[in-house]
Structure 1
Amino acid sequence: MPFVHSDAVNVHFRTDAADGPTLLLAHGFLMDESMFDPIRKVLAHTDINVVAWDARGHGRTGYGADPRFDYWDLATDGLRVLDALGIEHAIVGGVSQGGYAALRMALLAPERVTGLALLDTDADACTRADETYYENFFDEWCGTGALRPLAEDLAPRLIGGADTRIWHTWINRWLARDRTAIRPAAECLIGRDSIHGRLGEITVPALVLRGEHDHSSTVDKSTRVADGLPGARAVRTVAGAGHGCALTHPEQVGAALAALVTACTPYAVEPVTVVGI
């Protein structure tokens, strides 16, 4: 079980150890690196080396002595994962909060990031309305009331799609964890800074993709990100998907990721052809 030490935190990660270009992926809030298992299966017949890590406070990664951190720290964690694997360059990407980390990786180490995959994410800080919503939500999540109704209401919105089996897999994981342990990660989410004004510094090829029914990463937010990135084209939309399209629609998302890797790599990656995106 590989870990890398980053800023007093032991960060858990997993790699396919494939021989081709590296695709480093960061997961969404309340998830862990296993959310990319469906993507790994789709890309298994290519030579893409899929690497993913658990963010602080998620999966097998804790907080260290000081639980305070921000998405710049998570970006540094991602770079330390690449260091541990001896990987100098990678296409980096993420879902939701993972996209916040991926963007910051591209700003911290532009010489190492050869492409950017932004899935159901944005580049702005929370609005005051967002802050109020999250503060109330996490007070309830970390409180003493019944957690199951809250988790069952969250899963369709956080994950989306129509496969309730996926929802219940994650609901059961949430219920099995210490519900209060997510608080420092929630404070990071709420207090994040806007980097929209710096998007123009990121010039590598970029994929901006969202689920059709994602009410968090809206069309306007995603378009604003794509417009700010010199290397991005129009926003790609996954039909029928929600906020967790990497989980629910891995064939479509995997095909888009493979195309990005091909665009960022001097040698060809076997294409993944899927309709509906």
Structure 2
Amino acid sequence: MASTQTIQVPHLDATVGFELSNGKLDPAKPTLVLIVPFCATVEYYRAQLDSPKLTEKINLLAVELLGHGATTCASEHFTYWDSALVTLQAMQGLGVSKAYALGLSQGGWVVARMALLAPERILGILAMATSMDSESADSRTKGCWDPAPFASPFLQKWSSSTPNPDFVVGDDWIQPVLGLGLGSASTPAAVEYWSESIRKVYSGDQGRRRLRMATLNLAERDGLLFRIGDIKCPVHWYQGTEDPIYGTIVPQEHIKLFTGSSEAKLNFIEGGVHFLSVSHPKEVEEAIFEMVH
């Protein structure tokens, strides 16, 4: 479910949902910011937030992007650049001057933007199950998905000049989204939980408008291929071998474009699905420890 904790930031007059491990920031520990994937909330990182092994050594700050969880803003329109800036401001408001950042899927695009916008504040990025391109025709020839045909009917259906206070997200949206994310890691309990979460977060007219914009961003995002060479911090990329969204070819090409990074490496997780933190929490925990020190 959506976070119960929020912080107000100046950009777009946004209210940002977050959760901090152990309920407080320990200045003696390094901090890792966790960016949620599409239609998820801070609960996506529950295994990490509740891991004594991790939280003994690292502050974990899970953040919900614009259009996700408890995060809202004054503008109906926003982009992933806005989400990156809002997250940086939330960090500042919570007393996190510097941090590592982990982002899965859309979170990968956001942590890269954070490293570009505030290079002095991002110590390293963990990109997981992602792509640095737009949803381009070239990427589709290399095994990436095409979200436009899937998203277009819903964007049309969710567009309305009059409020719809009775809006409810249908299973025709929820089931494919969870199927793509969870893959072979799907369980009845996980599907039930996330179905209820999505319906609750995106209910009523505000929910309709937030879901429409989050989906529009997904379908029409800009690429970063000509920018990521400017990122200086270490980049560790993890990709599941069973990821139906971005496959295994594109990550091998894109990791080579981080030419300015002090370290850039790609690791494949055998059998990993798109939601790697769900299918392989142990490997994700090990990846965090390898990066954060």
Match of 1:268 in 2: none
Unaligned segments of structure 1, at least 5 residues: 263-277
Identical-residue share of aligned pairs (%): 25
CA contact 1:211–1:238 (8 Å) conserved in 2 = yes
1: CA distance between counterparts of 2:119 and 2:85?
A: 13
Match of 1:50 in 2: 60
CA contact 1:208–1:235 (8 Å) conserved in 2 = yes
2: CA distance between counterparts of 1:234 and 1:33?
A: 27
- The Cα of 1:198 is off from its aligned counterpart by 1.4
Specify whether residues 215 and 4 from structure 1 end up closer, same or farther in structure 2 by C-alpha distance, changes over 3 A only: same
2: CA distance between counterparts of 1:253 and 1:201?
A: 26
Match of 1:10 in 2: 15
2: CA distance between counterparts of 1:45 and 1:55?
A: 22
Specify whether residues 141 and 208 from structure 1 end up closer, same or farther in structure 2 by C-alpha distance, changes over 3 A only: farther
**Corresponding position: 1:210 with 2:226:** no
3-state SS, counterpart of residue 254 of structure 1? helix
- The Cα of 1:33 is off from its aligned counterpart by 1.7
2: CA distance between counterparts of 1:41 and 1:61?
A: 22
- Give aligned pairs, total: 261
CA contact 2:112–2:125 (8 Å) conserved in 1 = yes
Specify whether residues 213 and 4 from structure 1 end up closer, same or farther in structure 2 by C-alpha distance, changes over 3 A only: same
3-state SS, counterpart of residue 52 of structure 1? strand
Match of 2:143 in 1: none
CA contact 2:49–2:55 (8 Å) conserved in 1 = no
3-state SS, counterpart of residue 159 of structure 1? helix
**Corresponding position: 1:171 with 2:195:** yes
CA contact 1:105–1:113 (8 Å) conserved in 2 = yes
- The Cα of 1:100 is off from its aligned counterpart by 0.9
Match of 1:148 in 2: 171
**Corresponding position: 1:196 with 2:206:** no
Please show how residues 193-272 of structure 1 align to structure 2 within 5 Å.
Answer: 193-229=222-258, 230-262=261-293
- The Cα of 1:234 is off from its aligned counterpart by 3.9
CA contact 2:169–2:199 (8 Å) conserved in 1 = no
1:125-161 superposed Cα distances (whole Å, 9 cap, x missing partner): 1226735324335337748898224422331212234
3-state SS, counterpart of residue 235 of structure 1? strand
3-state SS, counterpart of residue 115 of structure 1? strand
1:197-216 superposed Cα distances (whole Å, 9 cap, x missing partner): 11111121111001221011
**Corresponding position: 1:138 with 2:138:** no
2: CA distance between counterparts of 1:78 and 1:36?
A: 16
Please say which of residues 50-59 and 141-150 is displaced more in the overlay.
Answer: 141-150
2: CA distance between counterparts of 1:67 and 1:222?
A: 32
> Aligned-residue CA RMSD in angstroms?
2.3
Match of 2:163 in 1: none
Match of 2:162 in 1: none
CA contact 1:160–1:241 (8 Å) conserved in 2 = no
Match of 1:272 in 2: none
TM-score, scaled relative to structure 1: 0.85
Unaligned segments of structure 2, at least 5 residues: 141-145, 160-166
- The Cα of 1:239 is off from its aligned counterpart by 2.2
- The Cα of 1:253 is off from its aligned counterpart by 0.5
Specify whether residues 208 and 133 from structure 1 end up closer, same or farther in structure 2 by C-alpha distance, changes over 3 A only: same
- The Cα of 1:10 is off from its aligned counterpart by 0.9
1:96-129 superposed Cα distances (whole Å, 9 cap, x missing partner): 1111111000000101111011011111112267
CA contact 2:185–2:278 (8 Å) conserved in 1 = no
Match of 1:90 in 2: 99
One-letter identity of the residue aligned with 1:61:
T
2: CA distance between counterparts of 1:167 and 1:232?
A: 37
CA contact 2:81–2:110 (8 Å) conserved in 1 = yes
